[in-house]
Homo-oligomer: A and B are copies of this chain.
Amino acid sequence: MKENETGIEITLEIVCGKWKGLILWKLLHEKPMRFNQLRREIDGEISSRILSRELRKLTDDGLIERIDYEMVPPKVEYRITPYGKTTASFLTSMNEWGLEHKRMSTSRKEMARLINK
């Protein structure tokens, strides 16, 4: 373990990419959700293939849990785990920063011009 290694790298391994942060954020604030429910509620329209893949990654990493009711028709729920809940600390910060900057401007570049001026 390197001495000066930042925590940023480790955290990025988890939330990097377009979707995992959003999925975690959703499951942090809702009850366990079913596959298609999650699919509908995530803004930005995620395809079932991508959602399936991202859910698998999060499950493999122990951040969420897959509950298969083994019914016909199938019913599967995804729930945040205790470990997953700990991500709320930085996801909340990220959300606040993003919202702040969305409120202030329509674009990041414009934002930058205003602040840096």
Residues of B within 8 A of A4 (CB): 43
- Inside 8 A of A63's CB, which chain B residues have their CB? 112
A94 & B12 in contact (Cβ 8 Å cutoff): yes
- In Å, the complex CA distance between A8 and B44 comes to 12
A interface majority secondary structure? helix
Complex alpha-carbon distance, A34 and B43, angstroms:
40
Are B89 and A7 in contact, CB atoms less than 8 angstroms apart? no
What is the chain B residue whose CB lies nearest that of A17?
Answer: B16
Across chains A and B, which 8 residue pairs bring their CB atoms closest together, nearest first? Answer: A62-B112, A7-B98, A10-B98, A7-B99, A93-B93, A90-B93, A7-B95, A83-B115
| Given A5-B43, A7-B101, A10-B99, 5 further pairs, Cβ under 8 A | A10-B101, A16-B17, A83-B116, A86-B101, A90-B97
